[in-house]
A and B are shown apart, each in its own frame.
Chain A
Amino acid sequence: MEIPENVKKRLSIPAEEHFYAGHTACQGCGASLGLRYVLKAYGKKTIFAIPACCSTIIAGPWPYSALNANLFHTAFETTGAVIGGIEAALKAKGYKVKGEDGIMVVGWAGDGGTADIGLQALSGFLERGHDAVYIMYDNEAYMNTGIQRSSSTPYGAWTTNTPGGKMHFLEKRNKKKVIDIVIAHDIPYAATASVAYPEDFIRKLKKAQKIPGPSFIQLFAPCPTGWRSPTDKSIELARLAVQTAYFPLFEYENGKYKINMPSTKKEPKPIEEFLKLQGRFKYMTKEDVEILQQWVIHEWEKLKKLAEVFG
């Protein structure tokens, strides 16, 4: 579809589409929106590496692809290593990588492929300093294999291997703070983002493009299928995750922390507002909710402190 110039000018995110209709994501899928935004930000001069995850399916089976960009599907745990190899090859061949007009090498992996099985390769990628961007889309469980817990699943969540039931066998650990592990690698740029805030996400993608070295973005991406939530509530949920400070948006740039949202002045909304729209939290007791709320506040205070001291 041709977009008139005057409309284009008013748009706050790029009008170009490089993510085709006809992809095979579920309705309301946050991950697919995320991919669309990445393609808007980077355009077609991009090489993606996508490991085993929902996005393998979203991108489509052979001989199709929903992405108007080059794409290498790879093994579950290898994203960090594969983008490192691609970047090395481009450099050996004399291509410009990253920057305004360089080729963008993008790792696009789920929370399982990042926080769990792929953590080692992610660490290697960050530590070696490749010029590429790693995006973890966080839907807080293994969705592709049918909703099992990952270490990014929050406390109190139902998944198929933390099913609740008579023994209250729910997820009992807090969400792993992957971004903190990433930052510990002392990389130039890391950020959280959300599909509910596309301008913020695209701004961060553009920043990651300009800054040399490895960048990491953890993107909050609701999954109605796995979260047992209405398909039209994904954006609302993603926004609530930010407003409750459950998933605050911030940037880490050369040692400095900056909170983008929610406001550090206002009290975050109660966590119940985020929980109540999702079937996955229905087994939580009042005490469970309190435990999760305490964790959220604790982490939020910690982040505020970091922004204050290292802002």
Chain B
Amino acid sequence: MKYKPIRKVVSGNYAAAYAAKHARVEVVAAYPITPQTSIIEKIAEFISNGEVENLQYVPVESEHSAMAACIGASAAGARAFTATSAQGLALMHEMLHWASGARLPIVMVDVNRAMAPPWSVWDDQTDSLAQRDTGWMQFYAENNQEVYDGVLMAFKVAETVNLPAMVVESAFILSHTYDIVEMIPQELVDEFLPPRKPLYTLTDFDNPIAVGSLGGPNDYYEFRYKIEKAMDDARKVIKEVGKEFGEMFGRDYRQMIELYRTDDADFVFMGMGSLMGTVKQAVDVLREEGYKVGAAKVRWFRPFPKDELYELAKNVEGIAVLDRNFSFGQEGILFNEAKGVLYNTNAHPIIKNYIVGLGGRDFTVNDVKKIAENMKAIIEKGELDVEVDWYHLKR
């Protein structure tokens, strides 16, 4: 590493707040919800301590307005940031479409929290995954370091392709758990992430523009295509930015699916977010016990890393997809996506869906071991027992 990182012991939420600060965000509009609250509290503290310049903090009256205010701010050329969770994200839903449709590179941290009812403040990915069709990019962080790095990279990617991006961390497991995070000196962040160059701005009064007006059947279709084109371009940009980040700061993010000990693996566990930390640990244990297993951590869910999944699937006999989320009437969402990608290819490993950890249910190394045993048996037999396994269900 060519620089001296600043090591701080911080929660996932504070990592997010520091990243926003280091990204020199200009407008933050946010509304509190557990477990996101300490992100915006920390940002307010930066302001009250005089640690940031030119940061306008808009304490809005709802999440819907938080996103609307970020949209206004971003359209006026500012670098805008917000954070939310679960019900708050659901309330924003309509505005998420406005952000991507207006091609505004807003970055938001979503703290994955289960949706009510019943009320729950614990981890569950359904809130963010339910936003998958809004045109937002989605990055899932495994640990606090990835929350910090993710926010910085998200801004760079978002401002390159002109689409908004969500950095997702899990409730409490990351949001409120303290860990060492290596932060980057401001000058280097500035070098990595220069001031935003907006696609358009509402402040050119000699060449006024109208954004977001009516698009008839003759035009609307092309607007959609352009969003998809930007998403597709984002795959390349993400890899470049991830590589650049690695070269500058020592942590390489060029893989959209991070592969862990998969080279000679018979089968792999695939999932997203903090549960993959547990999985990697379990892989080490299982390897000791003679299992040839690996872990595939999906970092970017949107755009979906199709090619990387295919490359992985070609070389394994089985994939256990661990979904801390569910799409009712169907199956786990990552499972659903993965199957969809592989159908038209010649890579057809046995692929099974394990629904785990919903609403903060504990998911441990032992659980991964049990899943490994089950996967091994299935692969040996050559057929699935069940396709979707509600793993923790009290029967």
Contacts and interface: CB of A to CB of B under 8 A. Distances in A.
Interface string A120-161: 110110011000000000000000000000000000000000
A77 interface: yes
Contacts of A120: 61-62, 65
B294 interface: no
A65 B210 contact: yes
A61 B215 contact: yes
Given A78-B68, A93-B26, A128-B58, A62 B213 contact: yes
B107 interface: no
Most B CB within 10 A of own CB, among A64, A70, A74, A103? A70
B213 A65 contact: yes
Interface residues of A, number: 47
Nearest to A86: B72
Contacts of B212: 72-74
Given A59-B213, A85-B80, A69 B26 contact: no
A2 B26 CA distance: 43
A81 B208 contact: no
A270 interface: no
A44 B205 contact: yes
Nearest to B223: A62
Most B CB within 10 A of own CB, among A49, A68, A72, A94? A72
B214 A45 contact: no
A84 B65 CA distance: 9
A69 B203 CA distance: 9
B330 interface: no
Interface string A91-135: 111110000000100000000000000001101100110000000
A65 B207 CA distance: 12
A45 B206 CA distance: 9
A72 B216 contact: no
B209 interface: yes
A65 B203 CA distance: 16
Nearest to B57: A88
Contact of B73 (A45, A68, A88): A88
B111 interface: no
A242 interface: no
Contact of A85 (B55, B70, B209): B70
A59 B212 CA distance: 11
Given A61-B214, A124-B61, A128-B58, A74 B68 contact: yes
Interface in B169-225: 202-205, 208-216, 219
A85 B215 contact: no
Contact of A82 (B26, B69, B210, B214): B69
Contacts of A61: 213-216
B56 interface: yes
Contact of B211 (A71, A84, A88, A124): A71
A306 interface: no
A74 B98 CA distance: 8
A104 to B, nearest CB: 10
Nearest to A46: B205
A121 B68 contact: yes
Contact of B27 (A67, A70, A88): A88
Interface string B51-87: 0001110111110111011111111111010000000
Interface in B20-75: 26-27, 29, 54-56, 58-62, 64-66, 68-75
B191 to A, nearest CB: 21
B315 to A, nearest CB: 46
A124 B71 CA distance: 16
Contacts of B385: none
Interface string A261-283: 00000000000000000000000
B78 A72 contact: no
B20 to A, nearest CB: 13
B307 interface: no
B321 to A, nearest CB: 35
Most A CB within 10 A of own CB, among B61, B70, B78? B61
Most B CB within 10 A of own CB, among A49, A73, A93? A93
Contact of A67 (B76, B203, B210): B210
Given A61-B216, A85-B80, A95-B203, A71 B61 contact: no
A81 B64 contact: yes
A56 interface: yes
Nearest to B94: A75
A263 B364 CA distance: 78
Contact of A90 (B58, B62, B76): B76
A124 B65 contact: yes
A80 interface: yes
Nearest to A49: B72
Contacts of B26: 89, 92-93
A17 to B, nearest CB: 14
A143 B98 CA distance: 23
B213 A73 contact: yes
5 contacts: A73-B213, A75-B98, A85-B70, A85-B75, A90-B76
Interface of A: 44-47, 49, 56-57, 59-62, 64-65, 67-75, 77-78, 80-95, 103, 120-121, 123-124, 127-128
